[in-house]
């Protein structure tokens, strides 16, 4: 696999993105094409011509990226939104930058006919949200459609906005569908590095707990076995008197799992303004997804993707 060992700075946004008002949001349950999908969702409410007008009028978004393509391929778990107003994707001013979406090229760590893997910078969403349309998915769409207007990336997994590291898209809808059917079973490695506050009591260990989510979408550790079981293995790579660099392997992929469990151990991750509230000397969350490995659904061979640990993490524990 081709690797990019350069450490990249976080993507910066000079202008605060505006929220796109939407009228409808749909989650795709199985593979489909965009026009038939919308015809089914709006059956008895909108005519075929009205739906075509939504598409040609730049009001349809898939995972936050506007498309006018009637036969745009949809995969399971895609999010389709109908915007209230036309969504502009090109600059209006003549002196505006030629590209509204930053290039994904500097972050690519691997690419073949089936996969596109990037070293996602901290501060960039994996997929858009209502409050922030800037995301790695939009960058991947722009990159692939420059080469083939009919192509698109398919979302295999997500990592937190504040977390950097390995993020993989499938380029083939059949491969995507096969992987998503047994994603947790096919993954053989989820490796992270984190810098946490203080010195760990043990040089290595396993944290097992149950996680729940409150009304404010904050995850917390619970003793209730009805919560989602989370298993995190860690080992101390290096420590100073104030913080520790940990190598982490998670057996379960729960929301904010590492951040919540480390905070519950009284060793919150530096820079986590959601759990722990411990400032970071490098002005970012000190959590990095360093490696992801899964079994290829067709060849049955292991596919491993690696993003080098940020140099700043190692400098913090010198």
Phi-psi region of 276 (alpha: psi -120 to 50; beta: other; left: phi over 0): left
In the set 78, 160, 186, 272, the catalytic residue is 160
Axis crossing angle, helix 34-41 with helix 48-56, rounded to the nearest 10: 130
Q: Which two tokens stand for residue 297?
A: 């659904």
Cα 168 from Cα 283, distance rounded (Å): 25
Cα 30 from Cα 36, distance rounded (Å): 12
160 is catalytic: yes
> Which residues does the annotation mark as catalytic?
160
């Amino acid at each position: 696999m081709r690797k990019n060992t350069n450490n990249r700075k976080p993507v910066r946004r000079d202008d605060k993105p505006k929220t796109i008002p939407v009228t409808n949001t749909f989650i795709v349950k199985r593979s489909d094409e965009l026009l038939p999908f919308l015809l089914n969702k709006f059956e008895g409410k909108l005519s075929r011509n009205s739906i075509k007008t939504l598409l040609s009028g730049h009001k349809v978004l898939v995972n936050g990226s506007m498309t006018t393509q009637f036969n745009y391929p949809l995969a399971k778990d895609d999010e389709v939104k109908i915007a209230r107003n036309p969504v502009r994707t090109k600059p209006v001013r003549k002196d505006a930058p030629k590209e509204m979406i930053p290039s994904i090229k500097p972050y690519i760590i691997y690419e073949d006919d089936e996969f596109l893997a990037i070293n996602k910078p901290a501060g960039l969403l994996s997929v858009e949200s209502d409050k922030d349309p800037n995301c790695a998915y939009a960058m991947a769409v722009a990159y692939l459609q420059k080469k083939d207007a009919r192509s698109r990336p398919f979302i295999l997994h997500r990592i937190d906005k504040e977390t950097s590291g390995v993020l993989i898209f499938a380029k083939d809808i059949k491969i995507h569908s096969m992987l998503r059917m047994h994603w947790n079973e096919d993954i053989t490695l989820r490796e992270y590095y984190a810098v946490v506050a203080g010195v760990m009591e043990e040089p290595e260990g396993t944290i097992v707990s149950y996680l729940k989510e409150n009304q404010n979408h904050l995850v917390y550790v619970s003793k209730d076995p009805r919560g989602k079981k989370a298993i995190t293995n860690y080992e101390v790579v290096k420590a100073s008197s104030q913080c520790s660099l940990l190598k982490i392997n998670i057996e379960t992929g729960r929301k904010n799992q590492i951040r919540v469990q480390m905070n519950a151990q009284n060793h919150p991750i530096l820079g986590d303004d959601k759990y722990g509230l411990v400032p970071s000397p490098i002005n970012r969350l000190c959590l990095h997804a360093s490696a992801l490995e899964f079994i290829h659904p067709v060849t049955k061979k292991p596919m491993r993707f690696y993003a080098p640990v940020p140099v700043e993490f190692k400098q913090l524990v010198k």
